[in-house]
Amino acid sequence: MKRQAYNPYLPAWEFIPDGEPYVFDGRVYVYGSHDLFGGCVFCMGDYMGWSAPVDDLSDWRCEGVIYPKTADPVNADGHMCLYAPDVTRGPDGRYYLYYVLDKVGFVSVAVSDTPAGGFRFYGYVRDRQGRRLGDRPGDEPQFDPGVLTEGDKTYLYTGFCGRGDKNRHGAMCTVLGPDMLTIEEEPVIVVPGCEYEAGTGFEGHAYFEAASIRKRGGIYYFVYSSTVMHELCYATAADPRGPFTYGGVLVSNCDLHIDSYKPADRPTAFGGNNHGSIVEIAGQWYVFYHRQTNGHWFSRQGCAEPIAFAPDGSIRQAEMTSCGLNGGPLRGEGRYPAHIACNLFVDKPVLLAGDPALPRITRDSAENHSEESFIAGIQDGTVIGFKYFDFAGVKRLTLECRAYFHGRFEVRNALDGPALAEIPAESANIWTRYAAETAFPDGCHPLYLTYRGSGSPQLRAFTLER
């Protein structure tokens, strides 16, 4: 690769959540909604395209605006947001983008001759009488479309099921004809919502939103966000219409359930809603998901982790890391930006982001792309984790900090391990370097920094030296 690959995998100034990854013609394309830094609601931007060659997942290219929100006839003034989309290649070889605007309950479709766009408005999913799906009497509102095309049929999965709403039954599958718009088979419920989970095997992990569908071998994998929001789950079936059986959790954006380096019920990041899917790239499967930044839920960034399938088709939950698409640990030398932290938490467990008093990954400006992101709001007891590195002969660690504070950073390679070094640091109104000799053992390890002291330092980067 040209360089190492980090999480988030796109530049630190870009905010593309709800990622749907596909491989088309030797490149990985990620389709998602578009948050803004400091946005006041979800999905405020136009759809942006990003792609990378399958043999270099560090080399992401911006394809520009692939579909503006004003392109839909019902949104010519742009007052509605483009929620999470999905893309499929139709039987005619063209690429079809499915989406739902934030104030309507029907599915819009755009089309492009290439996977990089630009997409043009095409029409609305409708029945043979021309009535839009979601507008007809008895229809449940459409939301978060996921699509899979096989032959002349396209399977469209949609739905949103909030707790307490018995009018919404679960994720729906609707079969469309070769024109990519016309309903051939009416919606059926394939995964239950929380109000109808009892006795289904989905208890505690019922469908909430974020429908996505993939096929591996003869098994269909339905990926979705569960009622608890921070986790992506999967269910499997031998037929795209189901019945689907609950499989497990793919990833949690607060690393809940992971017990390899901490107790399973201990969140080690500030989570939030989640959306993504799985994809095979050059023989390796990955799960794509997103994380929350800037102290709220409206500036989300895409991340990815490798996954593996057991012989029975099941998938073990992926651990959040800083090196997801890198193909292995990061080098134990050089300068690394602080925004690649995969763990960020305080003494008292906090499951979800949103408290402005908590530490957060943020930026000084949305417009200046040359400025680096950093971690702000660090307080006494804050733990910042980066995983994983191939440590060999590292003798010195340098931190770049600023703001009003006085204290020290304890350095560890395990959450419950002894401090390998302490780095004293104090107030500076410019980015200032603080360093200490270290004693990292050789091998693949995480790097944890724990702040002890007063004030609220900001951390921009760290450097490992041999």
Q: Side-chain half-sphere of 130: how many Cα atoms within 13 Å?
A: 0
Q: Is 433 helix (H, G, I), strand (E, B) or coil?
A: strand
Please state, in angstroms and rounded to a whole number, the distance separating the CA atoms of residues 386 and 192: 37
CB atoms within 10 A of CB 436: 17
Q: If you write DSSP's letter for every residue of 57-100 in order, what string do you get?
A: TT--EEEEEEE-GGGSGGGTT--S-B---EEEE-TTS-EEEEE-
- Which position has the token pair 């088709």? 313
CA distance 110 to 123: 7
Catalytically active residues are 18, 209
What residue ranges in 166-320 does DSSP mark as E strands?
170-176, 183-192, 207-216, 219-226, 231-237, 245-252, 277-281, 284-292, 300-307
The alpha carbon of residue 164 and the mean position of all alpha carbons in its chain are separated, in whole angstroms, by 26
Other C-beta atoms lying within 10 Å of the C-beta of residue 80: 17
Question: Hey, which residues does 120 pair with through a beta bridge?
Answer: 111
**Upper half-sphere CA count for residue 437 (Cβ side, 13 Å):** 0
Q: Is 142 helix (H, G, I), strand (E, B) or coil?
A: coil
Q: Is 162 helix (H, G, I), strand (E, B) or coil?
A: coil
For the chain, how are helix, strand and coil distributed in percent, rounded to 5?
5, 45, 50
